[in-house]
Amino acid sequence: MNDQTVAARIDRLPISPMHRRLLWIVAIPLFFDVSDIFTFSNAAPALIQLWGITNDQIALATAAGFLGMAIGGTFGGMIADRIGRVKGMMMFTAIFSIFSLATGFSTNVPMLVALRFLTGLGIASATVAVITYIAEIFPAAVRGRWQSWAMVIALSGITITSWVARLVIPLGENGWRWIFVWGALGLPFIILARSLYESPRWLLRVGRADEAEANLLKIEASIERWNGPLYEPPPQPKRPLAPTLGWSALFSPTYLRTTLSLCGIWFFQTIGFYGFMSWVPTLLARHGFEMVHSLNYVTLINLGALPGALFAVYLSDRVERKYSIAAVALAIALFGLLYGLTFEPVAIVIFGFLAATMMDTFSALGFAYTPEQYPTDVRNSGTGLAYGVGRLANVVNPFVISAIFTGLGYPYVFAYIAGAWVITAGIALAYGAKTTGRTLETISPIPEETPSVLPYAPEAAQ
């Protein structure tokens, strides 16, 4: 058994009820990850009224959450490469759920800021582990489509969370607390995750070949019960496993371009995505719209989440992902700029809806695109680093947006956001790799001459 034989056995599998069951389970932490990211943006207008918090304090709490995501994505990715995809998903989901629940009991701004940081640690780590797991379990020909289906479920969390906020926040002075309780409802995943198969690709790379074979046999047997006998995979070269890679390989000549381009894409899309989605409720309130009207507009805008992810399902495996990512980023820049230049309620909702739709298309495509580009040894680490660098952008970004709004005004905020999306498109076109329909091991092969660097598990050194 080697990397190529495992890939050939996975990639020749037809989609079955087993795949669908796995998808529904791993979509649970994704759903509540996405939901929790938007809980504070929905609660912020209420806190402005009840606590009298300032723009800078909103920026501080937002930045704390994204700093937690930056650290969580980077180091959580390394942890999941060491302990496994399934254990990583379980541990990180528990972390963000517990601290989201605790946020609902905050009594002051410093406590709120600290708990948003701790929640962010778990959110990013769980997201990275989930999208890496999907990339390694689903066949190459439909990998992007099923990654997008996971995001259909996850991004519906934006719309549903907006409606939950619309219902609970106006209930009274403690209504905003319930939105953080809502963000903690992913805990049942920890029980359901016990039925997941660990990634055979990861098991093989850490020296647990017998377990990799056993999991492959279980997956194949489950599919054969529904689809009948499977055909034999095409013969693969008989060669030994390539040496194990460590975290430093992300910056080696082989993978440096991949690392820099993905970090750049995630950095600027974070400025554009969260600059828009996280600040729209607050900016509308500051611009003179009443809180109830602001929440109504945001709720209607966020209805774009589901059609955006569904569009990604259609697009993902039909068009090379680097090109679709660039085209969608340019569309977001246009709609976001038009949103910022209008103050008519109908136009606000229309352009906001279109921008939100395209942003959620981008998210689904980006989540499929990133883990494809690293080898199994460092797939979670590389994905986590890119995701973490992106979230690091939003540690400073809230203060930049606050300063632009105060110094220049509402339209200039959206010109800044549009510029970030244009840069994102440029990086994808100039430096992005082609990945659609390709086996993971051909997108990012491990060089045969690469020396072994700190294996992730004791078995890998044997």
Whose tokens are 């907006």? That residue is: 162
Q: Which residue from 249, 9, 215, 22 is spatially nearest to 130, judged by alpha carbons?
A: 22
In the prediction, which pLDDT does 457 show?
Answer: 32
In the prediction, which pLDDT does 459 show?
Answer: 33
- Taking the C-alpha atoms of residue 230 and residue 10, their distance in angstroms, rounded to an integer, is 11
- Taking the C-alpha atoms of residue 253 and residue 207, their distance in angstroms, rounded to an integer, is 26
- Taking the C-alpha atoms of residue 249 and residue 244, their distance in angstroms, rounded to an integer, is 10
In the prediction, which pLDDT does 298 show?
Answer: 66
Buried b (16+ CB within 10 A) or exposed e, 349-359: bbbbbbbbbbb
Q: Are 339 and 348 in contact (CB under 8 A)?
A: yes
Q: Which residue from 315, 433, 456, 307 is spatially nearest to 381, judged by alpha carbons?
A: 456
Q: Class of the 3-227+249-440 domain?
A: mainly alpha
Per-residue pLDDT of the chain (462 residues; tens, 9 = 90+): 788 889 999 999 999 999 999 999 999 999 988 887 778 877 887 888 888 888 778 878 888 888 898 899 899 999 999 999 999 999 999 999 999 999 999 989 999 999 999 999 999 899 999 999 999 999 999 999 999 999 999 888 877 887 888 888 888 788 888 989 888 888 889 999 999 999 999 999 998 999 999 999 999 999 998 888 888 877 766 666 667 788 888 999 999 999 999 999 999 998 988 777 766 666 666 555 554 455 566 667 767 778 888 999 999 999 999 999 999 999 999 998 888 777 777 777 788 889 889 998 999 999 999 999 999 999 999 999 999 998 888 778 878 887 888 888 777 888 899 999 999 999 999 999 999 989 998 888 776 544 333 332 333 322
Q: Are 297 and 345 in contact (CB under 8 A)?
A: yes
Give the domain ranges of the chain: 3-227+249-440
